[in-house]
Structure 1
Amino acid sequence: MNPVVNLTRGGNRRTEVQARPSAVSLFSGAGGMDVGFRQAGFDILWANDLDKVAVETYRRNLGDHIVWGDIEDHLSSLSRFAGVDCLFGGPPCQGFSVAGKMAPDDPRSQLVRSFMRAVEIVRPRAFVMENVKALGTLAKFKPVRDDLRASADRLGYRTELHILNAKDFGVPQARERVFFVGFLDAEPVQFEDRIRKHRRAPITTLEALRKTGPQGTAANPKTCNAVITIAERPVLRRSPYAGMMFNGLGRPLNPHAPCATLPASMGGNKTPIIDERQFFGDGTSWIETYHAHLMTGGAPSTLREAPGHIRRLTLEEARILHTFPEGYDFAGGRSATYRQIGNAVPCDLALAVAQATIDVLEDGAIDDEGDHEPSLRFAFGS
């Protein structure tokens, strides 16, 4: 099935006569990571997710090779993809997220183990696992990291763990994530040096969104109706784009920098806020002016609702800030679409990781002549 949207990107070293590297995708969601891997040149043979709406989105845009269901029910069948070039995916991260319980024993935290069981079964030449930054940095998750590394080492993979920020790779969003990568029977690959070659200049929120035009147009329809009310007791920070000048958890977007991480909980009062005049009008900012007023001792506004030009981020704008291709067709309603975008790996971040992975595979760092039969069973530490 041909993709509905155009996923072609420049800079790919592969030619039409060269075989495309093969891949299997797990925890695929709406396809953010898959878009990037396909743009880099990977042929994705099989994908899987438990979210039925996200699976439908994936099918509409990327193809019918995705299977809906629990990965545990499909692990045994993955042996038919033995030896693919790459197995990649982002296991659900709520158990490791600072926005969640941060519990290693959360059932969703166990899905990193499912990912590694898939690595054992498939024995790909490379694997890429994405998750929240906390998994890669917090001391409480060091046992999980150690188990991941030990398990990959027993299977013959040389591994590296890197914290990457999407804003460094052409994504107009500051979103830090950990990437655990492994290469089978490899020499030291220095993945950080390879991915550094794919860094791109930061893109501000204003640069990314200006072309969409104001909300309410055909190109940028209004999609979030959550009312924005002014806080009676504002919590101030040095920046007008932090603190709490409005009720709810939505924060104003800073037009002069990449936006803050877009949460999967968007759709209501957690949806980020835009000053329409600042982005699409004369450039004046009510948010900055009101913040300056408060910082100099001014009284909070007695108005309940914010001015009409202060409004929520639209779905189209969220798509752009996550670098999903133009025309990407999301299944489900507004809340489901916001959730799918917020849960996804930004496509251009995935592209950079996929390009670096291909760099390793093509540079001959992988021993293709070695014995790839697993000699040790997968086992996590107690």
Structure 2
Amino acid sequence: MKRFVSLYSGAGGLDLGFIAAGFVPVFANDISADAMKTYSAAMDAISKKTGKTLNHRIVTGDIREVEELPERGSAELVIGGPPCQGFSVAGKMDPNDPRSRHVFDFLGMVERVQPRAFVMENVKALAKNKRWAGTIADIRKKAKDIGYETKLEVLNSADYGVPQTRERMFLVGFKDPSIEYDYPKPTVKKWLSVVDALRGLPPLGEPGNDQTCKAKVTTAKNPVLRPSPFAGMLFNGQGRPMDMDKPSPTLPASMGGNRTPIVDQETLETGASQWVEKYHAELQGGGSVVDSVPIRLRRISVQEAAAIQTFPRDMPWCGSQCSRYRQIGNAVPPKMAFAVALSVAKALDMDLEANPSLLDELG
């Protein structure tokens, strides 16, 4: 069997990777109604594309309040990415943040279902930051107490064909202590760039790339300079320009306004030098802050953010525009999830029928 229970599913980035690897969902849950609508629409699209109906239970609400939970033996895997705001360096790193307790709720479901293995995704800080050393030790001890040997590693999504240097912790547990597990090796020799991701989309404003961010790009009156023109604070808000020739930095869930990353349209279209590099050099040389930025600088659209995360081109996003950006920023890149799924299947000696084309288009 190859069934999985999905917790804290969001829009389904982790699930899409596991489904493409050949696993079959039996239950999915998230507290966000918009994310669950997106998830449901994506599952319907997969069913239509493959001819194989995915009619598993999709439940919206706090997992701690769901009445009919998956039973023991209902799945071979439990997967999910519990809320990470309490652990993230982008947040307050509050040890008392109640959202941080969801990692133990996740393990409570593992204990209930008793799968052959589980996969828990979270931010890099939970695995590497000394502040959370005791917490991750407690998590692994709890996993051992309920019968699972664990492996812990931080993976970079850029190593798996994702045009984004998103580093994430993956805690993988196995019920059979004799199983030998190796995290997936990089699947690409060269990291993909922002340009690689965006050039495959329709032009901005046309169908397929028409969910644009309205937040304007203006120069900071008192710019904060760093050695790189793509760091510091040269513009309003916290949405920094992305180096078009490299993978994107981690996309935040706070996109949709002034925190939305910035791209250079002329570089995208013609390969021209990036305007921000020239401006940064002028500022470093004592030049003045400009009154306005050229129209070639703009913020990424919803579909462009989704492409950088490697969601399928026709992913059916639901909810308000801010909600769509948030769903994308909170997600596990499906191509990264696919690599992890294949590695788990190999460790469990599962003969799965992988279908990576599901990560290209759903419609």
Common fold by TM > 0.5: yes
Q: Which amino acid aligns with 2:60?
A: W
Say if 2:69 is the partner of 1:77: yes
Say if 2:249 is the partner of 1:265: no
Equivalent residue number for residue 318 of structure 2: 331
Structure 1 residues 282 and 175: CA distance shift in structure 2, 3 A: closer
Q: Which amino acid aligns with 1:31?
A: G
Equivalent residue number for residue 136 of structure 1: 127
1:187 Cα deviation after fit: 1.5
Counterpart-to-counterpart distance in 1, 2:186 and 2:331: 23
**Percentage of matched positions with identical amino acids:** 45
- SS of corresponding position for 1:129: strand
Counterpart-to-counterpart distance in 2, 1:41 and 1:188: 20
The 8 Å contact of residues 267 and 274 in structure 2, kept in 1 or not, is answered as yes
Structure 1 residues 75 and 55: CA distance shift in structure 2, 3 A: same
Matches within 5 A, 1:1-382: 21-63=2-44, 65-74=57-66, 77-79=69-71, 81-82=72-73, 84-192=75-183, 195-196=184-185, 198=187, 201-221=190-210, 223-281=212-270, 283-301=272-290, 303=291, 305-362=292-349
Equivalent residue number for residue 50 of structure 2: none
Between 25-34 and 200-209, the greater mean CA deviation after superposition: 200-209
Residue correspondences, number: 340
TM-score by length of 2: 0.90
Counterpart-to-counterpart distance in 2, 1:282 and 1:191: 39
Structure 1 residues 210 and 228: CA distance shift in structure 2, 3 A: same
Counterpart-to-counterpart distance in 2, 1:215 and 1:252: 17
Counterpart-to-counterpart distance in 2, 1:76 and 1:212: 41
- SS of corresponding position for 2:200: helix
The 8 Å contact of residues 264 and 275 in structure 2, kept in 1 or not, is answered as yes
* Larger CA Rg, structure 1 vs 2: 1
Provide the aligned C-alpha RMSD in A: 1.7
The 8 Å contact of residues 158 and 188 in structure 1, kept in 2 or not, is answered as no
1:76 Cα deviation after fit: 6.5
Q: Mind listing any 5+ residue stretches in structure 2 that lack a counterpart?
A: 45-54, 352-363
Counterpart-to-counterpart distance in 1, 2:311 and 2:126: 25
1:336 Cα deviation after fit: 0.7
Q: Mind listing any 5+ residue stretches in structure 1 that lack a counterpart?
A: 1-18, 365-382
Between 220-229 and 199-208, the greater mean CA deviation after superposition: 199-208
1:85 Cα deviation after fit: 1.5
Structure 1 residues 67 and 344: CA distance shift in structure 2, 3 A: same
- SS of corresponding position for 1:252: coil
1:198 Cα deviation after fit: 4.4
Structure 1 residues 329 and 222: CA distance shift in structure 2, 3 A: closer
